Structure 1
Amino acid sequence: MDAAGTANTPLRTRVAWVDVAKGFCIIMVVMMHSTLGVEKAVGANGWMNYVVEFARPFRMPDFFMIAGLFLSARITAPLRLYVDRKILHFAYFYVLWLTIQFVLKAPEFASDYGWGGALLFYLKSFVEPFGTLWFIYHLAIFFAVTRLVHGRVPAWLVWLVAAGLEIAHINTGSMLIDEFASRFVYFYTGFILADAIFRFADRADRHLLFGVGYLAVWSALNAACVFGGISKLPGISLGLGFAGAVAVCTFSVLLAKTFVLRPLTYLGANSIVVYLAFFLPMVVTRSILLKLGVITDIGTISLLVTAAGVIGPVILYEFTRRTGWGTFLFVRPAWARIDQPWRSKPGQKAAIAPAE
């Protein structure tokens, strides 16, 4: 999610379609959790389930591929700066929001496992990613691994190993291991093939028929594989992941020409804000709608819960930004940094690192 710089980077230095893609994908992620949560609660599927399943092959691959797109310009940064911006950055938000989620769920955990078991579960979450926070946990790992192998191991060999891990469909039961094995190839591909991806996007931008044609062929193929029950097969899942990630980039290039540019760009520039905080408005809205019983269509409920999961974090973020209260929720404070560039100029205000 740290694909295009920081949230306060001037727009002219950002790539519009990248933010649009991130905005589109964060909606897809919230939609998945919202829809599956509603369907689990009611014990039945709604029409939104088809959208969620269609997006499954490319939803996370695209996020990770985009996260690696701009890394080439930073991979050789001084180690202290790199660790601060690419590892500790995500570690701070992981620990903070892990603690927030744990506090909210502690009574439930204590009732199931006792307070000792609940505390052990919390400590274990520093090794095994907790719930929806696994994405930023793995981003820190991906940035660290890429830095370690860069210049030491041939890129083609790293890619082959990463692709092999995805094709192997490793299932150890450990989210740390399993998600690394299935996702790292997309992040690394974004890193080593960034120029090719940008050239493809530029071609889709200049040739409308090319972009639309690709999307038409891809959507038919993706739907056939997903609803034909073969999208998760070894090799096919990798191909669909890449094809879908490129499709999202292409779709985002086209969307960037429409009226949805501004809202999706905003969501993309602040995608980690939504990712960190969507769980609470999602759960609250789901509970209220199901208890009221005014709306009975499962798909519609899922859509409303999705909207709440996206809008809720934005409202909270804007509140903290405009009032200055609780800014630590989304902006990494000076004490949580190790590069501390402000010290070079006496009297300069301490720098902060936004969540995005």
Structure 2
Amino acid sequence: MASVDTATVSKQRIGWIDAAKGLTIILVVMEHTTFGVELALGELPAIFGTIAEFAKPFRMPLFFLVAGLFAHKALFGDWRKFVDGKIVHFAYFYVLWSVIQIGIKILVPHNVGWKVTYVDLLMIPIQPFAVLWFIYSLAMFFVTLRLLRSARPFFVFFFAVALYFTQLDTGWMLIDEFAWRFVWFVAGVYGAKQIFEIADWARARPARGLALALLLLTCLATVVFSHLIDVRALELLMGFAGGGAAVMLVSIVASKGLAGPLSFVGKHSLYIFLSFFLPMAATRMAMVKLGFENGDLITLVATTLAVISPILAFKIVEKTPLAFLYVRPDAFRLTASRKAAPNLMMAAGGD
């Protein structure tokens, strides 16, 4: 696998990237909404529960694969820019929104069994809270590959695969998630050229690309619903199969001009990722209290609002003192200020 400086890739070739990011963040929100609804109603929503189970093997692999596509410049560029963009940047949002989420769960009355205390605030540096482990893990992945940048890609990938098969279960999220997810980020970084070629091929031959993507998704569904996904090697293969199918499909859809909504969501993924939990939980609780019993309907409405609301929230606070919620202030920068990057995975790439 050879690295590729994706800054040299034409805009035409990467038009599908935002759509892939949009798909990923929607799957993330949907999965958390689905299991929140299950907790509230006592049963898993039939339709969205099935979708969540089907998407589980490739949802996070796709996220980290795409995050790694634009990492080359950061990994091999200036140290000061790297620390600012890949450590301070992620640390700022991680700490800020960890405090916000934990604070809300401590202060807001509830009857869902949340076990959140002030101890969770003290654990922020070593034990990520809720979905914010994504940000912490991205920073760790960048630091690790920066330190290993002189190593041969083959050996780094072999190391990442070996970690994957250790199936670590220490109870410490940072350690366990690193071992489980690092392989996908490495694949995105060192396999960027191949991933772009897959997208190019599917776009140039849409009928074949669609057929291959559907075949891969059929294999994925067969493995998932037969419970063979519990076999570690098959889980790894299905992660690549689902990720590859998603890349081909979004590339085809984007080339036909049909990926507008997904691309819009992808361009604002950072805002959504940071704050979707609040409208998601509020909508779910409100609908349950109002007597709604259809778990799929609750999941659909809550997911939709959880994706849209953070974008609207940013637009509202953008020019107010509350802009610090979504834009890192100059006081927390090591380099010159630049326009905010609303896209989480673009922020994960080059500077």
TM-score (norm 2): 0.89
Q: CA RMSD in A?
A: 2.3
Residue by residue, what CA displacement relative to the aligned partner does 1:133-188 show, whole Å, maximum 9, x if unpaired? 0101100111111100101x222111111111112221111111110001000001
Aligned counterparts of 1:61 and 1:339: Cα–Cα separation in 2? 31
Percent identity reads 38
The residue type paired with residue 251 of structure 2 is V
1:106: Cα distance to partner?
2.1
Aligned counterparts of 1:336 and 1:260: Cα–Cα separation in 2? 39
- Of 283, 286, 298, 2:284 maps to 286
Aligned counterparts of 1:240 and 1:169: Cα–Cα separation in 2? 16
The residue type paired with residue 85 of structure 1 is G
* Cα pair 2:13 2:200 within 8 Å, conserved: no
Aligned counterparts of 2:313 and 2:11: Cα–Cα separation in 1? 26
Aligned counterparts of 2:320 and 2:248: Cα–Cα separation in 1? 38
- Of 267, 270, 275, 2:268 maps to 270
The aligned counterpart of 2:322 is 326
* Cα pair 1:168 1:234 within 8 Å, conserved: no
Aligned counterparts of 2:155 and 2:312: Cα–Cα separation in 1? 45
- Of 315, 331, 341, 1:354 maps to 341
Residue by residue, what CA displacement relative to the aligned partner does 1:226-266 show, whole Å, maximum 9, x if unpaired? 11011132111111111111111111102213454222112
The aligned counterpart of 2:122 is 123
Instruction: Decide whether aligned partners of structure 1 residues 14 and 310 sit closer, same or farther in structure 2, where only a CA change above 3 A counts.
Output: farther
Aligned counterparts of 2:21 and 2:232: Cα–Cα separation in 1? 26
Residue by residue, what CA displacement relative to the aligned partner does 1:170-225 show, whole Å, maximum 9, x if unpaired? 11111111100010000011100101110111000000122111111111111011
Aligned counterparts of 1:332 and 1:276: Cα–Cα separation in 2? 13
The aligned counterpart of 2:107 is 107
Q: Within 5 Å, which residues of 2 pair with 1:174-185?
A: 174-185=172-183
The aligned counterpart of 1:114 is none
What are the ranges of 5 or more consecutive residues in structure 1 without an aligned counterpart?
6-10, 112-116, 341-349
- Of 275, 293, 302, 2:299 maps to 302
Further displaced range: 46-55 or 259-268: 259-268
Aligned counterparts of 2:258 and 2:301: Cα–Cα separation in 1? 19
Q: Within 5 Å, which residues of 2 pair with 1:131-146?
A: 131-146=130-145
Q: Within 5 Å, which residues of 2 pair with 1:1-12?
A: 12=11
Aligned counterparts of 1:99 and 1:60: Cα–Cα separation in 2? 24
Instruction: Decide whether aligned partners of structure 1 residues 339 and 320 sit closer, same or farther in structure 2, where only a CA change above 3 A counts.
Output: same
Instruction: Decide whether aligned partners of structure 1 residues 259 and 291 sit closer, same or farther in structure 2, where only a CA change above 3 A counts.
Output: farther
The aligned counterpart of 2:83 is 83
Aligned counterparts of 2:298 and 2:246: Cα–Cα separation in 1? 26
Instruction: Decide whether aligned partners of structure 1 residues 260 and 97 sit closer, same or farther in structure 2, where only a CA change above 3 A counts.
Output: farther
1:325: Cα distance to partner?
4.4
The residue type paired with residue 206 of structure 1 is A
Aligned counterparts of 2:122 and 2:342: Cα–Cα separation in 1? 23
1:272: Cα distance to partner?
1.6
1:19: Cα distance to partner?
0.6
The aligned counterpart of 1:204 is 202
Residue by residue, what CA displacement relative to the aligned partner does 1:42-64 show, whole Å, maximum 9, x if unpaired? 11122210011110000000000
Further displaced range: 255-264 or 41-50: 255-264
The residue type paired with residue 26 of structure 2 is I
Q: Within 5 Å, which residues of 2 pair with 1:230-241?
A: 230-241=228-239
Aligned counterparts of 2:338 and 2:127: Cα–Cα separation in 1? 31
Instruction: Tell me the secondary structure at the aligned position of residue 45 of structure 1.
Output: coil
The aligned counterpart of 1:41 is 40
Instruction: Tell me the secondary structure at the aligned position of residue 219 of structure 1.
Output: helix
Aligned counterparts of 2:63 and 2:22: Cα–Cα separation in 1? 10
- Of 185, 193, 196, 1:195 maps to 193
The aligned counterpart of 1:161 is 159
Aligned counterparts of 1:216 and 1:352: Cα–Cα separation in 2? 39
The aligned counterpart of 1:27 is 26
Structure 2 residue 334 is the aligned partner of structure 1 residue 338: yes
TM-score (norm 1): 0.88
1:315: Cα distance to partner?
1.1
The residue type paired with residue 64 of structure 1 is F
Aligned counterparts of 1:190 and 1:291: Cα–Cα separation in 2? 43
Aligned counterparts of 1:99 and 1:123: Cα–Cα separation in 2? 10
Aligned counterparts of 1:330 and 1:300: Cα–Cα separation in 2? 30
* Cα pair 1:330 1:354 within 8 Å, conserved: no
Instruction: Decide whether aligned partners of structure 1 residues 231 and 292 sit closer, same or farther in structure 2, where only a CA change above 3 A counts.
Output: same
* Cα pair 1:65 1:191 within 8 Å, conserved: yes
* Cα pair 1:19 1:264 within 8 Å, conserved: yes
Instruction: Decide whether aligned partners of structure 1 residues 244 and 310 sit closer, same or farther in structure 2, where only a CA change above 3 A counts.
Output: same
Aligned counterparts of 1:67 and 1:59: Cα–Cα separation in 2? 13
Aligned counterparts of 2:324 and 2:258: Cα–Cα separation in 1? 29
Aligned counterparts of 2:236 and 2:50: Cα–Cα separation in 1? 21
How many residue pairs were aligned? 332
The aligned counterpart of 2:59 is 59
